[in-house]
Each structure stands twice: as C-alpha cells, then as structure tokens.
Amino acid sequence: MKEKRTKTKRLLALDAARGLAVIGMYIQHFALNERNSFVSGNTMILFMLCSGISYTLMGRKLLAGEETAEEFRTRVLARSVFIDLAGYVLILLNGPFAVVLPAYAMLFSLALILIGRPAGTLAAVSAALYAAAPPLMIVGLSLFADAALLADIAGGPLSALAWMPVFVAGMAIGRLNLKDSGVAKRMIALGAAVLIPVKLFTVFALPALRAAVENRMMQAPMAEADPWAVWPRNAQQVQWHLIFMDMPQGGSMFELLIGTGGSLILLGVLLLAEKKLAAWYRPFACAGRSALTLYALQFLIAWGAALAGVEVTGLEIGSFLFGDVLVAAAAVAAGCLLAKLPNAPMEAALRKFEGCFLGPR
C-alpha cells in the first residue's frame, strides 16, 4: 500500500499575489491606459516569480520522501505537456494577445535539474541568468525565429530562457520559510535594493548607453539575410540594442530586475499582512487558484468577440472612467465564481491529465 500523502496547506498571500498578476493581465489586455501602464510586463514577472515559488513547494513531497523521483518527474512533464498543448490551442485562435503558455511549459521541464538545490545555489544560478539570459535570448530571437520549439525555449523575450531568471529566483524564495516575518521583511528590503538603483540607472544612464549601441550598430556593415540560404546564414542580424531597452516584455536585464524588485516588495508586504488582512486576500486568492483557467478565458473572450465582429483592443475600455477598475472587478468576480467549483475547468483537466500518467494516488 502507498503511504498516506499529506496535503500541503496553500499560502494565502502567494495565491493572492498570483491572483493580482492575473488581474493585471486582464487590465493590460482589456483596459490599459497611462495610469495603469505599469502592469504591462510586470504582471507576468510577478506571475513567474510566484510560479517558481510554487514549483519549489510542489517538490517538497519529493524531498520529504512522500513521492518518488519518477513520480515527481512524471507529474512535472505531464503538466508541461498539458500546458504546452493548451498554449498552442490558444495560439490557434489567433487572438490579439501574445501566448506565453508554451514557454511556461518549457520552464517546468528545464527547471527539473534545479529541484532540491539549496536556496543559495538557486540564488546564484538566478543571478547568473539575469546577466546571461537576455543576450542569449536576443541571439535566439535571430537564430530560432522559424523554429517554433526552439523559439519557445530561447527565441526572444517571450521564451522560457527570458523568464528563467525570475522563475529560478522564485524557486530560491520557495526554499525559505515564507511564514517567517523576518523573511518577508528581507524580501521587501531586497526588492527595494534592486528596484531603486536599477530604475534610476534606466532613467539617467540607460538612454545614452542605448544610443551609443544603436550608433555603433548603424556604423557596422549590415549583411542582408538570405531566406533561401542554409541555417544560420538565413538568420536576421542580432538586435543587440534590445538588451539596453527598458520596455514591457522586452526581456532586458533592466526590465527583469525592475519587475522582480517590485514583485519582491509586493509579495513581502502580502506575506507580512496575511494574518491581519486574510479576509481581504481571499477574493484575490480565488483568482490565483484559478489562474490557468482565467488566463485562458481572456483569449476565449477576445476570440468570441472577434467572431461577433468586435475587436476587444479597439474598445479602449481603459479610456472610460473606472474602466480598468471594472475589468479588474470582473476578473475577481470570475475567480470567486470558479472557486465555488471543486476545481476550475483548466485546473481540473490538468489534474485528470496528470492522473493518466501517475495512476491512482
């Protein structure tokens, strides 16, 4: 007989943070304006940080001996396949938003080699990735443009490699005692120590540095890519100047560090105030527990509207008074309704898909 498996208690603050990330995506896609433009890109960074934490928490059963290495790898790979397939279905709908689920699925598979590593090792790997991943993914954007699978792994700012620094940072945080107020305070301090100097650098120094790089690129001889040549001679010129741009979902080190710093501050504050504000957290936590379903739902809404002849991006809901608030409230309400089900549709399908490979638990 199998040992009785203990059910890990969910962290309310972590679910609430993930819910805020999903709500931010809805605002970005349906009601973006000048006031809320900070959500663009940063919500995905927050989501990836929370996902890295959850990934480590998911591996605790393995470290505690409640799950074999084979079971854990099977569970992770099954999730990766399901999320990847779901992502390609959403891509098939040809909606107005970029789909990151295939890259997200690749993260789950690639991070298997890091599971069980101590927090210090994960932090060192994450720090190295913040420096190395942006230039590598920019090279991948040129070399893997026409190779879907490789592009999902390392082909540009929406690839797995581009998000890996944040995801691994989340894995490192997941190794800490998140119920300790001291850990939460250190997260806030670290977030501020990262966010403030990097933001100042991007405001006062980065534009001149980017201009110098762009000037150097313009002076260099440009080789015209031949689409009929063999690889890599058919690849476009590497766009090195993108590394020095601070723009939403641009994948530069500066954008990632600013987003990570802000996410650490937010998550630290949520962890500190969890006991006092638990009742306020629950609606957002409901959205966080149904994150996969809510993520897919926004694409289905845009697709259904397009079939009816309405382009959601042309509605400009964010230009109306409290339009962004209404969109956020609708996302929270949808999360609360989904919470009344045993599992949200996508999450339930994911568990059934896992069960096909794991057998009775």
- To the question of pTM greater than 0.75 for the whole model, the response is yes
Does a structural domain hold residue 214?
yes
User: Per-residue pLDDT tens for 37-62?
Assistant: 999 999 999 999 999 999 999 998 88
Does a structural domain hold residue 1?
no
Does a structural domain hold residue 244?
yes
Does a structural domain hold residue 6?
no
Percent of the chain with pLDDT over 70: 97
Calculate mean pLDDT across residues 92-114: 94
Res 75 pLDDT > 60: yes
Identify the pLDDT of residue 4. 45
Does a structural domain hold residue 255?
yes
Identify the pLDDT of residue 121. 97
Number of domains the chain contains: 1
Q: At 116, list the tokens.
A: 């069980």
Q: How far apart are CA 124 and CA 172, in angstroms?
A: 9
Does a structural domain hold residue 7?
no
Identify the pLDDT of residue 234. 83
Residue range(s) defining the domain that contains residue 278: 12-358
Helix (H, G, I), strand (E, B) or coil at 248: coil
Q: Which string of DSSP letters, residue by residue, matches 219-240?
A: HSPPPPP-TTSPTTTTSPPP-G
| Highest mean pLDDT of the ranges 38-42, 72-76, 163-167 | 163-167
User: Per-residue pLDDT tens for 174-187?
Assistant: 999 999 999 999 99
Peptide bond into 232 cis (omega under 30): yes
Q: How many helices (H) and strands (E) does the chain have?
A: 15, 0
Does a structural domain hold residue 3?
no
Q: How far apart are CA 50 and CA 335, in angstroms?
A: 17
Does a structural domain hold residue 33?
yes
b/e string for 305-319 if b means 16 or more Cβ within 10 A?
bbeeeeebeeeebbe
User: Per-residue pLDDT tens for 272-297?
Assistant: 999 999 999 999 999 999 999 999 99
Calculate mean pLDDT across residues 66-73: 89
> Model confidence at 358, in pLDDT bands (50, 70, 90)?
confident
Calculate mean pLDDT across residues 129-141: 96
| Cβ(122)–Cβ(172) below 8 Å | yes
